[in-house]
Chains A and B, each alone.
Chain A
Amino acid sequence: MTLATLLAGTIFIALNVYALLGGADFGGGVWELFASGPRRERQRELVAEAIGPVWEANHVWLILAVVLLLTCFPPAFARLGTLLHIPLSLVLIGVVLRGSAFTFWRYGSPGDEEQRHWGTTFAIASLITPLLLGTTVGAIASGALGDAGRAPGFYENYVAPWLTPFTLSVGLFAVVAFAFLAAVYLTLETQERDLREDFRRRALASGAALFLVAGLALLLSGAYAPVVRTALIFAAWAVPLHLLTGAAAIAALWALWSRRWRVARIAAATQVSLILWGWALSQYPYVVPPDLSIGAAAAPAVTLRLVLAAVVLGAVILLPSLYYLFRVFKRSPQSSAISHQ
């Protein structure tokens, strides 16, 4: 394995963790939007309490992936920034609105009308941002961001590559996957039985929906993302990966059904991670298919070596700190003891 591949893998790990943690925070926003039934206020409270202490740390995984990408693979960063300008700008507006609305909502005076608007803004931004983020992933996977083969023109260059049925299906997949993760995690955040059951039902429903959306994306990939689809079917790793993913998915649903919450959490996280790694493997060795490979996009070896050293050093500081953060706030379901005063 080359140094560049190792760092590409590191960046992808950061994206994977972002999907599992930051993604679930988006998913929490989705459930905030769709809170319903007799316990809707308690559902909202639970989402906010679960996200509060950790969402900023979870969000930094995305920043980390971006700064590592711009350092280690600058041509890829430059090309993505150019061709995906529009969806990424919209993602940024979503990120800004979600983060600030959540903070305004939690730190304002509770209970008044205007606080409710911030909660709604947070929820809508949580729905739209992963949709667009997934769309950009779809655009990368579809191989439409090559240097050659696009007619000149604004639409052909800056809109067409990311606005196809396939990219939208990937966006939808991201929303459903994040909502699924959030619902599974939330079953572990409360000791109230009814509330837990609310999120169990949501997890089961979104888990089933995930199958449908994944099928839809796979179907559309035939016409829109041929390279990725071919690899996903014919590569040597394809069958074992699909079997593992399927096993994780079924395990997650079974565990939810039989109320084994911790097993469900591990299985759901494994399932989503395996799907992400399926995407990564299917476009390997390209950072931006069909023409920008890891080797061609890589910064000089000296830069990569230093970044690797920084990653190791960073991990030594960050991993124990993260462990501490999650141990303090996620060790056991909390009664609503969080004070915002």
Chain B
Amino acid sequence: MPDLLAARSQMGVSLAFHIVFAVIGIAMPVMMVIAERRWQVTGHAIYLDLAKRWAKGTAILFAVGAVSGTVLSFELGLLWPEFMRLAGPVIGMPFSLEGFAFFTEAIFLGVYLYGWGRISSRAHLWAGVAVAVSGAASGIFVVIANAWMNAPAGFALVNGQAVDVDPLAAMGNAAALPQTIHMTLAAYAATGFAVAGIHAFFLLRDPANAFHRRALEIALIVGAPAAVLQPVSGDFAARHVAVHQPLKLAAAEALFHTQSGAPLTLGGWPDLTARQTHFALELPYGLSLLAFHDPDAEVRGLDSAPQDEWPNVPAVHLSFQLMVALGTYLAVVALWVAWLAWRGKDLAHHRWLMRAIALATPFGFVAIEAGWMVTELGRQPWVIYRVLKTSDAVTPMPGLVVPFIAFTLLYCFLGVIVAWLLYRQIVRSPSVAEWRGFYMPEGEVR
């Protein structure tokens, strides 16, 4: 395995692993806080049980996220020293801010997890709010740094050195807003639907179980609005990519030839030698409409650049299709939920809805992984778009296949353990008999 490929694979595995925990660390505290607040208002023990279970899950996942995030901060230097040499002064700022935000999150998570009964209930709830807010902030800072790699700004390149550095302009890069909105919504949608899916699965067997009904409600409150908004933010992001990174869009859409009135390509397999996409469904004018909101707009194809500057077209195209398909599914299910809720239906007894939500359990996370494939693979061969090639950024250290395999095995092992622990500790139904087979009993208002 060539060293460059090994380094990219190690970075990819580290990010793909970490992002799951990072995303849960953003959205889970929101659910935990909602449950605790409901417990304070209604006084019903189900909500306290939910808040504690979710807090326990957050504790396990946050710990793994904290250490896998440490790995990433070091890997920037271990694998990509030349990238950091150039990028550090320009875009190190959001990394530093992320450090502070993450610090705040860690402090208040400690207070929240171990503070039950030690601090006032009001202080405890606010600690949870601090975790949720700083979690979202740290995610936003990291995504800003990534956006800069896609739309570099805030410096001039002279002899391979960054001069006229302006870190604030770098943070305000053109991709920052679309990417941070898209990713933050993704975190809430994916986590919300994953939790909702698990409880929907239990409700299929036991639709009157009050515990799972309340859990489903809170998970959907977090996940469904984000899932509905996500296609809108995706449109915003895609229109940005169309202007600033035309080759990424061309690869995502498998558009080989520059053309006006470009069609939207659904599915299919891009054939690089024939320069066409087989077995695809084409919607006329669709891409021009989506990318520029004009059916006759010209969309740049892959042929606008030499082939050695193309990203991996089949991988980017398939990842993009997968992300869009799963995101659309979540949005449709969320609208369905909204429709039924508006009409006052009992969601848990709607078997087809419960099946649809249970099916969606992994979809948000798969969509997130696929979306990162699009944005990272789609930027290749550049690590900083049109500034620094990935092959020029990699460490000179040989034998990188060894750490790649070591970290991959470590993460696979941890992934299995975490899944098993969560199953044992969090997911299984509570054994409180009166919560089963009853609707929510009236709690005393405290």
With an 8 A cutoff between CB atoms, is A233 at the interface?
no
Cβ of A325 and Cβ of B107 under 8 Å apart? yes
With an 8 A cutoff between CB atoms, is A151 at the interface?
no
Cβ of A299 and Cβ of B52 under 8 Å apart? no
Cβ of A92 and Cβ of B71 under 8 Å apart? yes
Cβ of B165 and Cβ of A302 under 8 Å apart? yes
Q: Once bound together, how far apart are the Cα atoms of A103 and B421, in whole Å?
A: 10
With an 8 A cutoff between CB atoms, is B69 at the interface?
yes
**Interface code B87-119, partner A: CB below 8 Å = 1, 0 otherwise?**
111101101111110111011111101111111
**Interface code B387-403, partner A: CB below 8 Å = 1, 0 otherwise?**
00000000111110001
With an 8 A cutoff between CB atoms, is A6 at the interface?
no
Cβ of B67 and Cβ of A100 under 8 Å apart? yes
With an 8 A cutoff between CB atoms, is A239 at the interface?
no
With an 8 A cutoff between CB atoms, is B424 at the interface?
yes
With an 8 A cutoff between CB atoms, is A154 at the interface?
yes
Counting chain B CB atoms within 10 Å of each CB, the highest count among A80, A100, A338 belongs to A100
One of B78-86, B197-205, B301-309, B365-373 contacting the partner: B78-86
Cβ of B70 and Cβ of A78 under 8 Å apart? no
Distance to closest chain A CB from B145 (angstroms): 10
With an 8 A cutoff between CB atoms, is A109 at the interface?
yes
**Interface code B373-415, partner A: CB below 8 Å = 1, 0 otherwise?**
0000000000000000000000111110001001100100010
For B398, what are the chain A residues with a Cβ–Cβ distance below 8 Å?
154
Interface size for A (C-beta < 8 A) is: 68
**Interface code A71-103, partner B: CB below 8 Å = 1, 0 otherwise?**
111110111111001001101110111111011
**Interface code A294-338, partner B: CB below 8 Å = 1, 0 otherwise?**
000001101100110011011001100110110011000000011
For A226, what are the chain B residues with a Cβ–Cβ distance below 8 Å?
none
Assuming the A-B contacts A70-B84, A78-B84, A81-B84, are A88 and B106 also in contact, with contact meaning beta carbons closer than 8 angstroms in the complex? no
One of A31-39, A58-66, A195-203 contacting the partner: A58-66
One of A49-57, A164-172, A179-187, A253-261 contacting the partner: A49-57
Q: Once bound together, how far apart are the Cα atoms of A64 and B106, in whole Å?
A: 12
For A54, what are the chain B residues with a Cβ–Cβ distance below 8 Å?
110
Assuming the A-B contacts A81-B81, A95-B67, are A314 and B89 also in contact, with contact meaning beta carbons closer than 8 angstroms in the complex? no
Interface of A is mostly: helix
Cβ of B70 and Cβ of A92 under 8 Å apart? yes
Interface of B is mostly: helix
For B114, what are the chain A residues with a Cβ–Cβ distance below 8 Å?
52-53, 329, 338
Cβ of B111 and Cβ of A325 under 8 Å apart? yes
Cβ of B96 and Cβ of A96 under 8 Å apart? no
Cβ of B84 and Cβ of A310 under 8 Å apart? no
Q: Once bound together, how far apart are the Cα atoms of A82 and B7, in whole Å?
A: 13
CB < 8 Å neighbour of B78 from A85, A99, A340: A85
With an 8 A cutoff between CB atoms, is A237 at the interface?
no
CB < 8 Å neighbour of A56 from B63, B119, B167: B63
For B177, what are the chain A residues with a Cβ–Cβ distance below 8 Å?
none
Distance to closest chain A CB from B123 (angstroms): 9
The chain B residue with its CB closest to the CB of A340 is B56
Cβ of B96 and Cβ of A71 under 8 Å apart? yes
**Interface code A261-305, partner B: CB below 8 Å = 1, 0 otherwise?**
000000000000000000000000000000000000001101100
Cβ of B103 and Cβ of A318 under 8 Å apart? yes
8 A Cβ contacts from B409-429 to A: 410, 414, 417-418, 421, 424-425
Distance to closest chain A CB from B220 (angstroms): 26
For A96, what are the chain B residues with a Cβ–Cβ distance below 8 Å?
67-68, 70-71, 410, 414
With an 8 A cutoff between CB atoms, is B168 at the interface?
yes
For A317, what are the chain B residues with a Cβ–Cβ distance below 8 Å?
100, 104
**Interface code B48-64, partner A: CB below 8 Å = 1, 0 otherwise?**
00001000100110111
With an 8 A cutoff between CB atoms, is B66 at the interface?
yes
Q: Once bound together, how far apart are the Cα atoms of A174 and B186, in whole Å?
A: 42
9 pairs, CB–CB < 8 Å, chain A vs chain B: A63-B102, A71-B96, A74-B92, A77-B77, A104-B417, A310-B96, A314-B99, A318-B104, A329-B114
| B interface with A by C-beta (< 8 Å) | 52, 56, 59-60, 62-64, 66-71, 73-79, 81-82, 84-90, 92-93, 95-100, 102-104, 106-111, 113-119, 130, 165-168, 395-399, 403, 406-407, 410, 414, 417-418, 421, 424-425
Leading 4 A-B pairs by shortest Cβ distance = A71-B92, A81-B77, A74-B88, A299-B89
Could you list 13 further interchain pairs (A-B, Cβ under 8 angstroms) beyond the known A82-B397, A303-B93?
A56-B62, A63-B69, A68-B99, A92-B74, A93-B406, A96-B410, A99-B66, A103-B63, A302-B167, A313-B100, A317-B100, A324-B111, A329-B114
